[in-house]
Structure 1
């Protein structure tokens, strides 16, 4: 189903941070964060950091800035807080820091989501971009949303995008 325009570097391992944004989840109940980590490992990548932060813009931005200074990391995947409820602040916190955005990521995510859940996909504010040389993804916290984003968009392009940033 996925079309590869050109081959990626064989065997490129990408080191990612996984950040769950939630006021209620713990490491034991964070199924989405666990799924992201497992999918990364299954694809041959590594998880260099994992944490849960409250859905507070300052905490999200502080976490993003700290991770950007970690030279071991290539990418950061946030999950949670991408809707429009009053406590959903992840998009706003991250979007304001991105130096470059990848509009196609959010557009494709919503298009793929629409095929699964219909018009409710318009409520998703999934976004991706670049901050201080790191690839940043922000995806919904639902396990279905995580699975869709990881399997159909992030994992197929992760090595290619990080390779572009390393040029």
Structure 2
């Protein structure tokens, strides 16, 4: 079972938070605030934060820019993962991914089922990797952000977490680009 290995030092990662919404601004961004609060309490660094409209090309451009920034290790977006016509965050993420972390969405669904039952099927939370950066798309509710952080990301973004975690393989995510 998972555990924290106290013989290892905690390694903070640099995380960018993107809120996707046609209606929210910085004063109403409860989901973004939830993520920032949790990641900083865990000891990580808030590298960047932005709010964008539900526009696929704009979201993908921001994701690409952050993936190209050596000061960002992880991007977490919130909002736009539902089923309505304006929900395009998942498509924007997939436009950027080199590899999808298929099990992230599955594990998020399992966590959500315990909280909201079958309503969990309406979320399309996703995760992937691009240019040596982890990307995660979460639903736009503070509760969903809490669940994803508290049950998945806080553990996988902790270098001390065993039996494995995202941080220990972070330096190898772009090794295919260095072999040339």
Q: TM-score range by the shorter chain?
A: over 0.9
Equivalent-residue separation in structure 2 for 1:6 and 1:166 (angstroms):
20
Once the 2 structures are TM-superposed, how far is the Cα of residue 96 of structure 1 from its aligned partner?
2.5
Once the 2 structures are TM-superposed, how far is the Cα of residue 5 of structure 1 from its aligned partner?
8.4
Equivalent-residue separation in structure 1 for 2:84 and 2:25 (angstroms):
21
Which residue does the alignment assign to 2:113? Answer: 114
Equivalent-residue separation in structure 2 for 1:60 and 1:85 (angstroms):
17
Which residue does the alignment assign to 1:63? Answer: 62
For residues 3-82 of structure 1, what are the structure 2 equivalents within 5 Å? 3-4=2-3, 9-82=8-81
Once the 2 structures are TM-superposed, how far is the Cα of residue 140 of structure 1 from its aligned partner?
0.4
1:102–1:124 Cα change, 3 Å: same
Q: What RMSD over aligned residues (CA atoms) do the two structures have, in Å? A: 1.6
Once the 2 structures are TM-superposed, how far is the Cα of residue 97 of structure 1 from its aligned partner?
1.8
The structure having more radius of gyration, on CA atoms, is 2
Q: Is the 8 A contact 1:98 1:130 kept in 2?
A: yes
Equivalent-residue separation in structure 2 for 1:51 and 1:124 (angstroms):
22
Which residue does the alignment assign to 2:167? Answer: 162
Instruction: Provide TM-score, normalisation by structure 1.
Output: 0.94
Deviation string, structure 1 residues 6-59 (Cα, Å, up to 9, x no partner): 679422010000000001111111011011001000000000100001110001
Q: Is the 8 A contact 2:60 2:95 kept in 1?
A: no
Q: Is the 8 A contact 1:74 1:162 kept in 2?
A: no
Q: Is the 8 A contact 1:15 1:73 kept in 2?
A: yes
Instruction: Provide TM-score, normalisation by structure 2.
Output: 0.87
Which secondary structure state, in structure 2, belongs to the residue aligned with residue 28 of structure 1? helix
Q: Which runs of 5+ in 1 are unaligned?
A: none
